[in-house]
Each structure stands twice: as C-alpha cells, then as structure tokens.
Structure 1
Amino acid sequence: MGRQDVTALAGQVPSLQVNQYSPTVTVFNVRGVSQNDFADSQEAPIAFYNDEVYIGALGAISGQTFDLDRIEILRGPQGTLFGRNATGGLVQIVTAKPTRQLEGFATVTVGSHGQIATEGAISGPLTDSIRARLSVTSNHHGGYIDNDFGPDRGGARFYGGRFQIEADVGSSGKLSVKLEGLRNDRERSAGAYSHVSTGVTSDGLGFALASNEDFWGTCAGCDATGYKDADGDPFTGSYNYDARFNRKYWSANVRYEQDFGDVNFVSITNYQDLKKTYSEDADISPNSIFIYTTDQDLYQMSQEFRISGDSDKFNWVAGAYGLKIRTDNIYNANLLDSFGINEVYGGRQTTESLAVFGQGEYFLMDEISLVLGARYSWDWKKFDFTHTEFYADGSAPSVFQFNPATNPALAKQKFDNYSYKIQVNLHPTDDALVYFGVNRGTKSGGFGVQAFQPINPNTIPFDEEILTNYEAGFKVSLFDKKVNLNGSVFYYDYQNYQAFSIVGLSQFVGNKPAEVVGAELELQVRPTRGLFLSGFLTKLNTQVKDIVLPSGRMVDRVMPQAPSLSLGGMVRYEFPVGPGALSMQTDWKYDSSQYFSTFNAPIDREPSRVVGNVRVAYATDDDHWEVAAFVNNVTDREYRVYNLDLSSTFGFSQQTFARPRWFGGSVKYNF
C-alpha cells in the first residue's frame, strides 16, 4: 500500500474498521466488536500485538507500523493462543528482522500541508553469529484544519526508532533483543474537532440543528452557549485554546528460542513505558467554556513461556503467561468560566494477570483434522480513584474517593474464566479447506471513569464479557493458485458486552447482552502476469439489547462502528517500461451507514460513503530505486471517523472528520 497509516488496513480486510481520530487513541473494530471508551486506563477487546507482545495501552499503538515484514489480522475470538482481550480478534504487526547480509533502505515522502516523512533501515551481520537492524521513521506536517484564532489543527511532529540484535546460541538457539521508542513532540493533533450545533430529542439524544432553528433560545442555528459555526466547513474552526499532544513511549523485549529435539521452547520478556499529555479546546469555539486535559504514566511488564512440537499427525503448543500493568491517570474537565466548576479526577489502576494455555491439531486422516484449544486466565484489578470538584466562588471542594479502603467489595476485583476452541478442518484437496467450529473468548472486567459528581460507586465497576463464536467457512485456491476465494458465516453469542455510553459529560461502561450475525467473502485474482485484483464483501447484523437511554427508556440498538454492508477492492497492474517497471493501483471501499455510539443518537449516525486511493510507482529492474506518487481520499469525500454527543449539556457535538484529499510523492532507495 505504500503507507504507514494503520487506518489503511480497513480498506483491505473484511469486517475491519479503524478509528484513529487522534494519536492518543486507536480503536480497532472487527465484526462489530470494539470498545469506544476513550479513558486512558481502558483496554480494548481487539488486541494489538507487536512481534508476539501484547500492547495494552490504546495510546501506544499509533506510530508502530514502520519497517514491517507484514501485518496479520485474525477475526473472531483468539483466546486460546493469543489470549488477553482478544474477544473479537486481533491485529499483529511483525517487524522486519536483522539479516545475515548487509541491506537497507531509505524513503523520503513529501505531501500536502508541508508533509515531510521519512522511513529507513540498515541491517546486517556484526559477526558470523550476531546480526543487527536499526530502523527509524518520522512524520512532520502542518495542520489541515484552518484556525481563525491561532495555530492550525491536525499537524504532526512524530519520530520513531527501533533497534534489534539477534545472536545464535549454540547450534539451535537464538537470542533476540529489541528496543523501540516513539515520540510525539507538542503536536497540534489534539482536539481536531469540527463544531455542529445540536438539539435534544425527548430521549435526551442529540440531533443536528438547521441553520434557522433556534432550539436553545440563543440564536438561529446556535448551540446552548450562543455560538454558531460560521461556514459549516469541517476543516475550518475557531479555537482560542492552543491544544497539544505529547507522548514518549519505549519498550524493551527479549526473546529466546531453543530447540530440544522435536520440542521448541520460546521465552518472551517485555517491558513498556508510556508517558503522555493531551489537551483540547473541547468547546470548539472562541469562547472559554470547556478545556479538557489528560495525563498518563503507564508501565507494563509481561512474561510468556511456550513449548511446541509437530509431527505428521499432531501439532501442539502449550504455555503460560503473566502480565502486570500500572497506569496513573489524571483528567481535568475545566468549566470554571462557564459553569463555575473544575473537575479534577483520576488515580491508579493496577492489573495483574496469569494464564495457562494449550492447543493442538490432530489429523484423524489426511483429509480431516481436529483442533482443540483452551486457556484459563486469572485477572486481579485494583482501582484507587479520587474525584475533586472545585468551585469558582472559592467554597470548599467536594471530594469523592473510591478505593479498596472506602469500597473494598468494589475497588478490588478478581476475574477468572476460560476460553476454548473446537474446530474440524476438512481438506478435500491440497488447495481447499472447509472448517466449522465453536470458539469462545473472554475479556476481563474493569472500572469506568466518571467525570462529574454525584457518583454512585456501584456504577464504576463493570463485569467481564464472554463471546462465543459459531463459525463455518472455506478457503479455496483455483487455477494453479491464480484465484483465491475465502468465505465464512458466523454467529456471535455475546454475554455482558461492555457497552460504552456518555450521559451528560460522564462516561459509563455497562454490561449488556448482544449478538452478531455475519458473512464474509474475499476474492483474489491474478489473471495474467502483472495484474492483481482483489475484493471483499461483509454483511453484518448486530444488536445490543437493553440499552437505557438518558430518558430512562430501554431499547435495543445496533453496535457502534458496524455498518451492515461493506464492499472493498483493489486493482494493481505492473508492466515493464524501459529499465524498470511501472505499477498503477487503486483501492476503494464502500461502507453503509453506521453509528458512533450504543445510543444510536441521530447526531451519531454517519451516512454511507465511498472512499478511494490511487498510487503510481516506477521501480528500476535492479530494485534499487522506486519513485511513487499517490492521492489518498481521491474524491475529497467529507466523512466523520468519530463523534461525541454533548448535546444535553452544551448543545453541540464534537465531530472528527477524516483527513481531506492528500497528495504526495516519495523516493525510495534500497541497497
């Protein structure tokens, strides 16, 4: 694809949506399953992995997709092998590894809004038994949202680096050490919202106001504060607060692998550290109404041991996994100039987890195999939360505390549960697979983060969720592998789905029953040399039950970010020209309408859309040089990737639009 942007994956993979409305949060949605809570302490049900290592922090994901070997995406519960919080699936990036020969590359990209981006690596032997690889990347560009009151919004100031070293140990062992660091330096990417004035339905849900509609009695088309966006252009705004995003993330990983005859042993030790600050002009106006800031200081440690083996009849793997996450979070919702209050809240959440797992595939005969897998996990979580409400008149603040001393039965939680996989694989030919089975995944419970008092302690914890997937499908290669066709149908029985909602300005996570019925179809065709065609189709029917609206009415709703129909495809043609080859490719995706919240508020409904990209490249026959030009969002389609309904409090909604049409070109040198 020629891109580092992880959102590009959504245009290539059935049932995948990617929401990265800010570098501080990346949310994957697979087959309708996601977690939309933007609190920094939350983990997602679509797990993200970097080289077999779980990345728990949502704010650590962006920027890791450089110098890659490949990206793997698994749909459906992956609890038995990958385990933690892979209820709906997972995304794993696999980085390029050190090589035994000297090689490398360097890429420079220039694009719209003054973009200058780089990516490069150098790899090779240090001795006969030791190899190393150094990878770097950067991305700088100005803001694409014009600000009438100061610096533009949506800019980037990002750097990343990765160093890996591998050493052969004896005749059958290998030790790998990897260090990775990411840095966002005072980016103006925070709060890249567009303002829309809204009214409120009888159920307390927001809807967009017409330009002549005076819902709040402030003025025609105005929000409850009396402000109205002047031109309705999502890429212009009036922000009086200079929002910033800073992040420092680094990780260290040690992997040791050793063969003992027919048994392979793997140990993976990992440490991660994340520090970030985020601030936004939450009222999206030139008025001093609402400033929102967050600070996070997190570390994560994990250890995994695996043993595996394979034979003609039986392949197996077994292991144990341990994890600890400690995150300190402070949030500040400053409304002193508007409501005379300032909410400062947060604290420490600690997670400790242990798991044992195993999975095997036994061939009953050459054409039939049985897959059995299981994992048992234990999670211990503790929350020490303090909420202080300050007042502009100087009166004594109101303090609420939630911790193991004040609420021993609520602030300390233990979750233990099991995942399993039972699947039958049929191989009628070497080029065909038919499968059917049952797969169960779990995600432990946790704690919500509420921004305003009064707070009922019983509404802070939420329970674990369980997803049982009943699935059947096929994978077929035809015409000497020139045609690949994959299809699947599935039914999700979703117990205690962790449904996120925002009432007023407070965030809530509650457990609700849900279900998903879906079908997927993928086709890849190579009809002639140089021509590649691919396409996919996804049909989803999702339902979350017993959602309680702000009015108190109970309803069933469709799941967020789950369009009922998605179609995508790519055409790539490469042919010789002079001393090289010219390639032309274009990819397009259609998504039917979808919602951004479990409330399914009118303002949260995003209409259907078609978005496409184009890339043209010329590469020399010796593979040393490549020159490329690209256009992303070719038709300059305006569509939202995020919306937060604040209608009942402010009479507006925070909406984030995807980047407008983006032109660029790159030069790459390989050696």
Structure 2
Amino acid sequence: MHHQSLGSNSYVDFTYGSYDQVRIEAAVGGPIAEGVSARVSFMKDKHDGYVKNAIGPDLLEDDTIAGRFQLRLEPTEALTINLFADWYKTRPVTSGGAMITGATQDADGLGIPLPPGSPTGFGYADADGDPYTGAFNYAGNFARETWTIGGKINYDLGGGYSLATVTSYQKLDSTYAADNDFSPVDIGVFEQDAKATHFTQEIRLIEDDGAFRWTAGLYYLSIDGNYFQGFNLSGFATYPRADYRVDTTSYSGFAQAEYDLSDQLKLSAGIRVTRDEKDYYYSEICEGPLCPILIAPGTLAANGVTTDKHGETGFSGRLALDWKPSDAMLLYASINRGYKAFNYNAGFVGQAPLAGFRFKGEDLMAYEIGGKFELLDRRVRFNAATFYYDYSDYQAFDQRGFNFTLFNTSAEIYGADFELSVHPGMGFRFDAGLALLHTNVADIPIGARIVDRKAPQAPARTFNVAATKDLDLGFGELSATFNAVYTADFYSQLTNAAVTKVPGGWLANARVSLKTMEDSLELSVFANNVFDKARKIFSFDVSAPPLGGAYDTYTQPRWFGAQVRYNF
C-alpha cells in the first residue's frame, strides 16, 4: 500500500526586528506509524507599539500566538482522512493609533481638509504633524481568539469517481476599543465586541477521468453571531450602546464540468444555487444628555428594538473557454455570474435609516479575456487580462460621519492587468506589473443631488517592480531582492469627499538572504518601507461638529529585521 504522509519538512524560524519584534515560527511533521502521519506548527509574534504616545502606552503593538495540528490517516488505499485543529490568539494590545487633522465642511456636508497644523473642531492640533506620534488619553484595547476544528475525507470509489467531504467548526471571540478622538481630550471611546460560531459542511462527488470531468455537491453554512457596539462619550456623560444578533443559515447546490473539445481546447461550465436565511435582532439604549442629538428620528437606534426574518435565493454560474495552441501560450475567455447574500445594517451604534436596515443580495456579471505567454525559451513570461464587471443591487458602503450604511444601487468596474517576468541569466530576475482600474457607483445622494461616485479604495493605477540577483558563493547562495509598489490617488470613502482623498505614493522593501549547508540554513536581513515613507492608506471623514476633523491611518514605518531559518 502506498501512503503519502504530511509534509516532513520541519523547520525553526526566528526573526528579530524593529520595535523589539520577536517572531518565532516552527513546525515538525512526518509519519508516525503505517498509514498515519502528523504535523504540528506554532507561531508567536510580538512587538511594541510603533505609534508613540506622549501621555501613555504606545499604540498598535502586537502579541499574537497561534498553533495548528494536522493528522493524516490512510486506513486503506482508497480512503484518506485529514483532520486539523487551529488556535489563534491575540492577547490584549493597544489599538487605534490614527492621526486626527483639522477639517471643515462644504455645502453638502462633506469634509474639506484644513491647512496642516489647523485645530480640529474641539481645539486640538497635532504638535509635530508626525503620524507616528501623538497624545492619546486612552490607549485602546484589542483582543481576539479563534479556534477551529475540522477535517476532509476523500474516498476513491473506483472508475474515476471519488467522494469528498469537508467539515469545519470555528468559534470567535473578539473585543475592540479605541480612542475615538485620537487626542488627549476626553471625548469618547468606540467599543465593538463579537462572539460568533461558524459551522460548514460540504460533500462533493467527483469524476476526474477522461475528457469529460465533473464535480457536483451540496454545501451548508451556519453562523450564529452576537455583537456589541458602544460609543462611550465619557466627556459628555453620554453612552449609546447596542446589542445585536444575526443568525445565518445557508444552503447551496453546485455542479461544475470540464470538457476537452480537443487537445488544445477546454470548455468549463458551472452553476450554483444558494438559499440564505437570516434571523436578525437589534436593541439599542442610550443614556445621557446628548442622546437626542446622537439618535436621529427614523434611524435603527431610535426604533429601540428591531427584529426580522428573511430569506433570499441567489444564482451563480460560470462559462469559460481555454485555448492552448502551444505549451508556451494560453488564451482564455470567461463569463461569470456572482451572487453576494443580503444582510443587515447595524452601523455605528444604529445610525442607519430604519427604512433601509435590510439590504438585498448583490448580483454581478463579470466578463474576462486574457492570455499567458512564454517567450525566448521561457526566459520571458507575459500575462495580460482585461475585465468588465456589471453590478446590479451593488452593496454600496456609505460612511457619513458616524453613520455607516449599506444600500443597493448599480455599479460598473472595468480594467486590465499586465504582468512581466524576465530571466536574462547570470542570476538576475526582473518582474513588473501594472493594474488599470475604472469604477463608477451610481445614484449616491450628496446634499440635494443624486450623483455618481468612484468606488472607495479603488486606485486607477497600481504599478509594481522587483529585481532579484542570485550569486553562487561556493559555500552557499546569496540572494538580494528589491521591490516597490506605486499606488495612485484614491478615495477611501464612497462620498469622494476631498478629505478622504488618499494621495498616491511608493512603498519599497529590500531583503538579502544567504542559503548554506545544502539549503538547510538561511540567514536574512530585511527592511520593509525602506525609505521610511509615511504612506497614508485611509482617511475617515469626521468633519461634522464636534470633531471637525479627519482620521488618517498610515502604513507601518520603516521596519528592519534579521531572520534565521533552519530546515531539518
């Protein structure tokens, strides 16, 4: 009997980096008896906060530990059982860490940035304009723990047929709280907790022999989620808070087939029918003098208790054609229909309108054509693709101050992706990529107008380059890599308010590694964000009184590190 064990590539990996980062990763695995193998892996990552706090603990630290156990059983030639258990925990660490800058509002109530150094609506101005320093009277708190157990069973039925089942159960518990004004002023703290369980079960019948191959199956998903949101305005003795629950049951039936029309031409087709049923409960209370201001009439919060039971059926499908005229060329075209289930608004402590607390499922028609090419004896690889996405009932995520609302509208997205990899020899490799993107989300209410807007966090251009040089030293191989990514301007919120425009910019990383002792030992040094660019990645419009500002979030500052890995 032939057995295939879990990977026996065992290793220990240790990294020490900036902000006293200590990361340890290790795994050991292999056969432990006839037809039985196991693998255990472990990770711990801890570092200090990299946003310096003048009046308390530094923010955005990490203290994460995780483990995974896998067991593979092959009791017969036809039966394979893979079992696993995961555990992931982030111990309580500081959170938040954004920078607040002064902003005012235009005639439509959208934020306009004020000159650097301008005070916010409550009179606070960041002293040095450095996003990695600040004065936070509340250092925030984040903690999360998940554990998952599951397994996959494969049974070879003979004649090219096999049966597969996949089962998974996960439990999540997380808490989050952050200084909501990112200043030394005692205004408010935002709190958000989640407790959820996920159970999935899938069964597939597979026929993978010959020119016609197919898979058919059933899928079941159950999510029980309990959530809490609070906005503790201790400076104003006001505390709106909400408990809500969404229980989801989803059933799917699916089938997919591939047919070789010829040695060069392959046709693929698939369909999936999904039924989603949800049970929703929302309850809000508010105590304090600002409640009449915070809770507008007609909102979910003002309704007190809201319940709903609802179900929808959605369809997904795929039709694709692959043509491979030679080993060095692949051309393809596909039409896909996608479906994203309906859901509910809870928003920032229930500020969403009651009339739209449930939004419909989203449908997408996606069209793509592309090609993959290898040239000059495979020294050059070039991939290109163009796509068009047509959404109906697009689930638009609209943030207006502390009102977070999802609603249905229409949208279109189209673009193209290009990838180039060149191996000229002498240990050199060069890579480049370009992504072009156009987005349009229709019928967004701005002031008294209904207008179109660009989708949030969708830069029109993204460009990446990388260069690698490998050098054989005799006793080992030295490898040096430099890569950089340019992201064009984009808006971080659907309103496209001026204050939410994130300027384009570069981020670059470098790494040098030495592999020796027949590749069993690897020594590396690296620098992420090597030029120490304070690269903004999100800007949140809170220009309305009393905050009168914008929250700006940045990538990590320059991060040096040294790494040792031993494979055995």
Q: TM-score range by the shorter chain?
A: over 0.9
For 2:377 and 2:165, how far apart are their aligned partners in 1?
Answer: 39
1:288 to 171, 180, 186: 186
1:505-531 alpha-carbon deviations (Å, 9 max, x no partner) = 121101121101101111122222633
Match of 2:331 in 1: 434
For the structure 1 residues 454 and 607, does the alpha-carbon distance in structure 2 shift closer, same or farther, using more than 3 Å as the test?
closer
For 1:211 and 1:379, how far apart are their aligned partners in 2?
Answer: 49
For 2:264 and 2:8, how far apart are their aligned partners in 1?
Answer: 43
Q: Which runs of 5+ in 2 are unaligned?
A: 296-300
Match of 2:74 in 1: 168
- Is residue 43 of structure 2 the alignment partner of residue 117 of structure 1? no
Comparing 648-657 and 514-523, the one that deviates more: 648-657
- Is residue 491 of structure 2 the alignment partner of residue 584 of structure 1? no
Are the counterparts in 2 of residues 345 and 451 from structure 1 also a CA contact under 8 Å? no
For 2:310 and 2:495, how far apart are their aligned partners in 1?
Answer: 28
> Displacement, 1:349?
0.5
> Displacement, 1:462?
0.8
Identity, in percent, stands at 31
Alignment of structure 1 residues 41-80 onto 2, 5 Å: none
For the structure 1 residues 480 and 452, does the alpha-carbon distance in structure 2 shift closer, same or farther, using more than 3 Å as the test?
same
Residue type matched to 2:130 in 1?
Answer: D
For the structure 1 residues 558 and 478, does the alpha-carbon distance in structure 2 shift closer, same or farther, using more than 3 Å as the test?
same
Q: Tell me the SS of whatever aligns to 1:527.
A: strand
Match of 2:340 in 1: 443
Residue type matched to 2:338 in 1?
Answer: G
Are the counterparts in 2 of residues 308 and 317 from structure 1 also a CA contact under 8 Å? yes
- Is residue 297 of structure 2 the alignment partner of residue 401 of structure 1? no
> Displacement, 1:632?
0.4
Residue type matched to 1:373 in 2?
Answer: G
Structure 1 vs Structure 2 CA RMSD? 1.9
For the structure 1 residues 184 and 453, does the alpha-carbon distance in structure 2 shift closer, same or farther, using more than 3 Å as the test?
closer
> Displacement, 1:344?
0.5
1:330 to 217, 224, 228: 228
> Displacement, 1:417?
1.2
1:249-300 alpha-carbon deviations (Å, 9 max, x no partner) = 1101111011111112110000000001111001111111011111111100
1:520-548 alpha-carbon deviations (Å, 9 max, x no partner) = 11112222263322211111111111111
Q: Tell me the SS of whatever aligns to 1:489.
A: strand
> Displacement, 1:399?
6.6
Are the counterparts in 1 of residues 398 and 494 from structure 2 also a CA contact under 8 Å? yes
Match of 1:493 in 2: 390
Residue type matched to 2:206 in 1?
Answer: S
For 2:128 and 2:497, how far apart are their aligned partners in 1?
Answer: 24
For 2:146 and 2:335, how far apart are their aligned partners in 1?
Answer: 38
- Is residue 551 of structure 2 the alignment partner of residue 654 of structure 1? yes
Q: Tell me the SS of whatever aligns to 2:544.
A: helix
Match of 1:479 in 2: 376
Paired residues in the alignment total 556
Q: Tell me the SS of whatever aligns to 1:152.
A: coil
Q: Tell me the SS of whatever aligns to 1:378.
A: strand
> Displacement, 1:588?
0.9
> Displacement, 1:394?
11
- Is residue 457 of structure 2 the alignment partner of residue 569 of structure 1? no
Match of 1:128 in 2: 34
1:540-586 alpha-carbon deviations (Å, 9 max, x no partner) = 1111111112x232211111111111111211121211311100011
Match of 1:26 in 2: none
Match of 2:87 in 1: 181
1:400-449 alpha-carbon deviations (Å, 9 max, x no partner) = 33443xxxxxx222111111111122121132111112111010110011
Alignment of structure 1 residues 83-482 onto 2, 5 Å: 99=5, 102-188=8-94, 190-211=95-116, 221-261=118-158, 262-338=160-236, 340-392=237-289, 400-404=303-307, 411-451=308-348, 456-482=353-379
Residue type matched to 1:142 in 2?
Answer: D
1:590-641 alpha-carbon deviations (Å, 9 max, x no partner) = 1111110111111111111111100000010412211000000111111122
Residue type matched to 2:303 in 1?
Answer: F
Q: Tell me the SS of whatever aligns to 1:400.
A: coil
Which structure has the highest strand share of the two? 2
Are the counterparts in 1 of residues 472 and 478 from structure 2 also a CA contact under 8 Å? yes
> Displacement, 1:468?
0.6
For the structure 1 residues 347 and 575, does the alpha-carbon distance in structure 2 shift closer, same or farther, using more than 3 Å as the test?
same
Residue type matched to 2:85 in 1?
Answer: L
1:140-172 alpha-carbon deviations (Å, 9 max, x no partner) = 111111101100011111111111110112112
For 1:160 and 1:251, how far apart are their aligned partners in 2?
Answer: 11
- Is residue 560 of structure 2 the alignment partner of residue 663 of structure 1? yes
For 2:106 and 2:114, how far apart are their aligned partners in 1?
Answer: 11
Match of 2:413 in 1: 516
Are the counterparts in 2 of residues 124 and 132 from structure 1 also a CA contact under 8 Å? yes
TM-score, normalised with respect to structure 1: 0.80
Match of 2:521 in 1: 625
For 2:127 and 2:290, how far apart are their aligned partners in 1?
Answer: 34
Are the counterparts in 2 of residues 383 and 402 from structure 1 also a CA contact under 8 Å? no
For the structure 1 residues 211 and 516, does the alpha-carbon distance in structure 2 shift closer, same or farther, using more than 3 Å as the test?
closer
Larger Rg: 1 or 2? Answer: 2
Comparing 625-634 and 311-320, the one that deviates more: 311-320
Q: Tell me the SS of whatever aligns to 1:303.
A: strand
Q: Tell me the SS of whatever aligns to 1:241.
A: coil
> Displacement, 1:452?
5.3
For 2:126 and 2:462, how far apart are their aligned partners in 1?
Answer: 32
Are the counterparts in 2 of residues 402 and 457 from structure 1 also a CA contact under 8 Å? no
Are the counterparts in 2 of residues 472 and 489 from structure 1 also a CA contact under 8 Å? yes
> Displacement, 1:242?
2.8
Q: Tell me the SS of whatever aligns to 1:458.
A: helix
For 1:547 and 1:394, how far apart are their aligned partners in 2?
Answer: 28
Residue type matched to 1:477 in 2?
Answer: E
